[in-house]
Amino acid sequence: MYLVRLFYTYVLHKTPPYYAHYPLWLAIWKPLRKFINVIIIPSIPFNTVRIFLYRIIGFKIGKNVFIGMKCYMDDIDPSMTIIKDDVTISYGCYFACHGKNQPHTPILIESGVYIGMRSNIMSGKNGITIGTNSIIGAGSLVLNSIAPDTTAYGVPAKIASCGQS
């Protein structure tokens, strides 16, 4: 990577890109991890294999967790996504731990949570927690933390009132 920095500095007369400061192993690992996370894992039909591979690339996932196919787990910093025990994440859900002009912030999904299909969880500037035994309705956009034992649904997700469920 030293040669890349020299090339940019003395041949192109430009500031070297951020990845020119990475060690070589990291410059190889990051795109490989992205490929595994975005292309390989979401297409595997066996949940146990998906969970195993998510753990290998750095996500913190508890026991008895189901993550459906075609989910996208933000891999900028996999250790920022923590999924505790007995969680069900339906098919096609997206998780984002970062955004433009935003630091990497954590997503914590506590035990017993159910997330409906095609839901989007975005951690925002302060991180997000989905409380124990909460239910997130299908197709919801979760932008704020959800209290324990709560049902939330919609775009953006709102807490269900007593007469609704």
Is position 165 within any domain? no
78 beta partners: none
Whether residue 29 sits in one domain with residue 68: no
The strand pair at 158-159 and 151-153 is best described as: antiparallel
Q: How far is CA 44 from CA 13, 64, 76, 135, 147, in A?
A: 45, 18, 21, 25, 32
Q: Which residue has the tokens 């996999």?
A: 78
- The residue type of 29 is W
Q: Is the pLDDT confidence value at 16 over 90?
A: no
**Separation CA 131–CA 6 (nearest Å):** 49
Q: Give the chain's domain count.
A: 2
Provide the pLDDT confidence category of residue 164 given band limits of 50, 70 and 90. Answer: low
Provide the pLDDT confidence category of residue 163 given band limits of 50, 70 and 90. Answer: low
Condensed to tens digits (0 to 9), the pLDDT of residues 79-116 reads 999 999 999 999 999 999 987 778 889 999 999 999 99
Is position 6 within any domain? yes
Whether residue 38 sits in one domain with residue 59: no
3-state secondary structure of 125: coil
Is position 164 within any domain? no
93 backbone dihedrals φ, ψ, rounded to 5°? -85, 150
Q: Is the pLDDT confidence value at 145 over 80?
A: yes
Condensed to tens digits (0 to 9), the pLDDT of residues 46-61 reads 999 999 999 999 999 9
Whether residue 74 sits in one domain with residue 29: no
* Domain with 77 in it: 46-159
Average pLDDT on 127-147 reads 96
Would you state the pLDDT for residue 78? 92
Whether residue 101 sits in one domain with residue 39: no
Percent of the chain with pLDDT over 90: 70
Would you state the pLDDT for residue 4? 77
Task: Kindly list the strands in the beta sheet with 151-153, ordered across the sheet, starting from the edge strand earlier in the chain.
Answer: 66-67, 88-89, 114-115, 135-136, 151-153, 158-159
Give the CA angle between residues 140, 145, 148 to the nearest 5°.
95
Whether residue 70 sits in one domain with residue 144: yes
Q: Is the backbone of residue 16 left (phi > 0), alpha (psi -120 to 50) or beta?
A: beta
